Structure 1
Amino acid sequence: MNIQEYIESGILESYVLGSTTAEEAEVVEQLAQAYPIIQLEIDAIRDSVEEYALKFAKTPPPELKTKVMNALLELEEIQNVNTPPQTATPETNLVSFTPESKKSSFSFGYAASWVLLAMSVLANWFLYNNWQKSEDKVVALESQTQILASSERALKASYQENINILLNPETKRVQLGGQKPAPEAQAVVYWNSATQEVYLSSVKLPLAPEGKQYQLWAIVDGKPVDAGLLDNPETFEKMKSLGNAQAFAISLEAKGGSTTEAGPKGEIFVLGNV
């Protein structure tokens, strides 16, 4: 017997849902005892069904519950009225199909049909309600997918732009090394003298204290020029454009930075020549 084929046949799902015949259920139980993998699969299916039921469980309308309960009470009353008292006899019990029993069976079936109808309405309402929820989830998921796709396209475009900048032969890479306040600090400046674009990357600096902020400087004709404050020092960040520079440096300034006229007021953490 191929156990995997038996598991994939769907019989275990039918068994868990109670739709197998008595003979089929008996076979499933025997095989579950003989093959632990089948029992594990049954347990997994039960857990999935229970998880699904708990996830989508919702209280049915009160009027539907009332109809079901009334039908059950009517069924119980019919059984009580039409069931004669039983007396224990040594004789074998036989089912007698008298006109009265037929009438009782008809009434019993009538009441049972009401129960089945009510349960059917409940099931249909349950399925429709969850279908509506699924539709809403699909719409929300499609919207999220579109947003993610748009974000992905924008991110790819940004990456491509960064790559183009780095591959441009006019772009110079300037390595900034750590100074006395932080010997292990470093950063990299990418500067294109033709387009005057300046980018900062690979920044490794100590965490700025409260009320402080790092600032990039370009040394132009021997004087420091403000090249911008560092907002996201670990990313590839575009700074202020510069047409000429002999060196770059980063200092730790008060929040908001300093000006070109005032120059750096704080200590220089990294420095590098072009």
Structure 2
Amino acid sequence: MKEKIKIFLDTDLLEKYLLGSTTTEESLRVERYIAMYPEVREAYNELQENLEIFAKMHALKTPQGLKEQILFRIRQEKRSRSKFYRFAVAASIAALIFAGATYFFYNQNKSLQEENLIVNSKIQDLENDMKIQLEDIRNQYIVLNNPNTRRFTVNGNKKAQELKAVAYVNPVKKLSYINVSNLPQLPEDKCFQMWAEVNGEMVNLGIIKQFDDKEKLLALPYADNAVSYITIEPQGGNETPTVQNIVANIKF
């Protein structure tokens, strides 16, 4: 019986159940194990508490003033449409006299509709960004709490001895992240840049900055036997890595 419980806990069904991504059959199995086995129930409660803490730490705030901007835009639209309808009625009585005014307000309404499309597009982009960030937070939670995750300590070479980082790799979920906890000081015209070798090609992962949040994780492309590098490049970054300026190798 103990072996059966251990096998169940080694799966990610509890995590999937908490995140609402289990099938109906998987959900029934999880609920049955939680009800029957105290060890599973205890693990479930612990995961639930960890997820709540993690979610609170990384809660996303709505951009300041977004609600007011949307309400202001709606009020503008209502006022403009009201004006348009009043002038349309007047134009129907004296079409020749008010033809110019009708045409003017038609253009105004068309312009307002175009602006509304832009506002709606920006709101949609914001929603998509929030979905991506929530998915990233979910993946970070899995990587940090899954027993299959492997941890690699990364140290800089002689060119950057103070560089300290930790890489987290989960071959089951095919996820990998890195936490750069310390970066040495560089001249103002230099910066650190990260790269990953994917399918034989070097992929630019962007410039690394000294984060105020020491727990911040950066996503890495996952691949079997992957290799990532940190180099010193000119300020603003480079299109290709400067091989002689490699300061750290990260092999999974």
Q: Normalising to structure 2: TM-score of the pair?
A: 0.38
Q: Which has the larger radius of gyration?
A: 1
